[in-house]
Amino acid sequence: MRLLFLIYFLFFLRYGIIFPFIPLYAKHLGADPISIGLVVSSFNLLSFLMAFLAGIFSDRLGPKLILLISTIMNILYSTLLLLSKNLWILTSAQLIGGLGFLFMLVGGQVYISSQKDKTLIEKGFGWAAFSAALGQSIGPFLGGIIFSKSSFEGMFKLTLLIATTGLLVLALKDRTFSKKSYSLSFKGITSVLKEILNSHVVAVFLFSFIVLFVVSLRDSFLPILLKEKSLTEEEIGSLISIFAIGMSLIRLFIGRIFGLVSRLILVITTLFFISVATGILPLISSKFILSIPVLMIGFGFGISQPLSEVMISDFVPIGYLGISFGIRYSIMIFAALIGPFVFGLLTQKWGTASSFYVGSLSMIIVGSIIVALLKRSKPSF
């Protein structure tokens, strides 16, 4: 699986280089603020609508082919960015890029889950998550250097070159994979959902939702909260970087942690870290002490993603992994979309701090339901 980790790193490196500069490029093409928002959000539009189907395709075709389709889409994405001279082409590129992102994640998750050794699955999700975090951390820094030395065109040429390295998926070893040819009719899909939606899988979906919902505060209202505490832009950037550091550090060891600590304890730990840290952020004024809850949220988020992936492989029969990961991805995007909207309404009515208190409380309430569902007897396949 080391080859898959390299592919993941290069994929997220390319993503990290491109994504921070899409708003700037849209503005360069003459977009107004609303148009910039539409261009950026279009990246998630098709992937949100197609995640369910992407999972079904993975079950029917196998993960290696899905990863190859993702690579082709990513090459097309980078090519369109290079050719985009107006907002229509840029938006089309974003739509295709979002699909490539979706297929890479679902295909990679199903490929790792198809391993026969449980320890390999645990370590696989841990190293995949770390590879993604490392690529995303280096990408924006590298993109900034490239842009300062060349132009948008130079940056897009580099990302096209990196995208072609995705063809390494052709060298991945084929795994014995139980492909499912279930009917795509309403009755067929309903039957599949009845097969996979046991209490544990529902708990995983709720877990994925509530974590992304609350952590959406990081990119929406955490900078505003910190600004209200009279922090400078440099200090705000440094604090948000601490989140990424915490996330990356925990993912470096998460594979070993999976073998030592039960899933339930890790879920409770994640919920505790994020809920407590989110709730106390408005109460802290010290710039130094603020780094502690931010680091806790980074640790919790760093655990949550590979943990929910491993739990899907724990609780879902192998032939239905694709559709399960597809549903999980749809839920995550939905949480990331509605989180800033809900917290925006709360902030407008009761102030910025209210969003953090409500986020903490909602995680405690939903977390209690998650723990209760996970304590039920584990399904047997």
Query: Does the pLDDT at position 179 exceed 60?
Result: no
CB-CB contact of 286 with 259 (8 Å):
no
Say which range, 94-98, 180-184, 323-327, has the weakest mean pLDDT.
180-184
Q: Residue 319 pLDDT > 80, yes or no?
A: no
Between CA 197 and CA 199 the distance in angstroms is 7
Average pLDDT over residues 160-176: 84
Mean pLDDT within 256-274? 94
Question: Please, is 171 exposed, middle or buried when counting C-beta atoms within 10 Å of its C-beta (0-12, 13-18, 19+)?
Answer: exposed
pLDDT of amino acid 126: 83
Report H helices in the chain: 2-18, 22-28, 33-61, 63-83, 87-113, 118-149, 152-164, 186-196, 199-215, 217-220, 222-228, 233-260, 263-280, 287-315, 321-350, 352-374
Percent of the chain with pLDDT over 90: 37
Please state which architecture CATH assigns to domain 189-374. Answer: Up-down Bundle (1.20)
Into which CATH architecture does domain 2-173 fall?
A: Up-down Bundle (1.20)
- Lowest mean pLDDT across 34-38, 103-107, 312-316, 371-375: 34-38
**Residue count of the chain:** 381
How much is the pLDDT for 59?
79
Q: What is the pLDDT of residues 52-69, one digit of tens each?
A: 788 888 877 888 889 999
Mean pLDDT of 303-316: 92
User: In this predicted model, what pLDDT tens digit does every residue of 336-373 receive, in sequence order?
Assistant: 888 888 888 998 899 999 999 999 999 999 999 999 99
Percent of the chain with pLDDT over 70: 94
Which range (153-162, 214-223, 233-242) has the least confidence? 233-242
Does the pLDDT of residue 49 top 50, yes or no?
yes
Output the average pLDDT for the chain.
86
The predicted structure's pLDDT at residue 17? 84
Residue 293 has what pLDDT? 96
Q: What is the pLDDT of residues 115-160, one digit of tens each?
A: 777 788 888 888 888 888 888 778 877 887 887 787 888 888 999 9
Residue 75 has a pLDDT of: 95
- Mean pLDDT for 291-306 is 94
Stretch(es) of the chain classified as CATH 1.20.1250.20: 2-173, 189-374
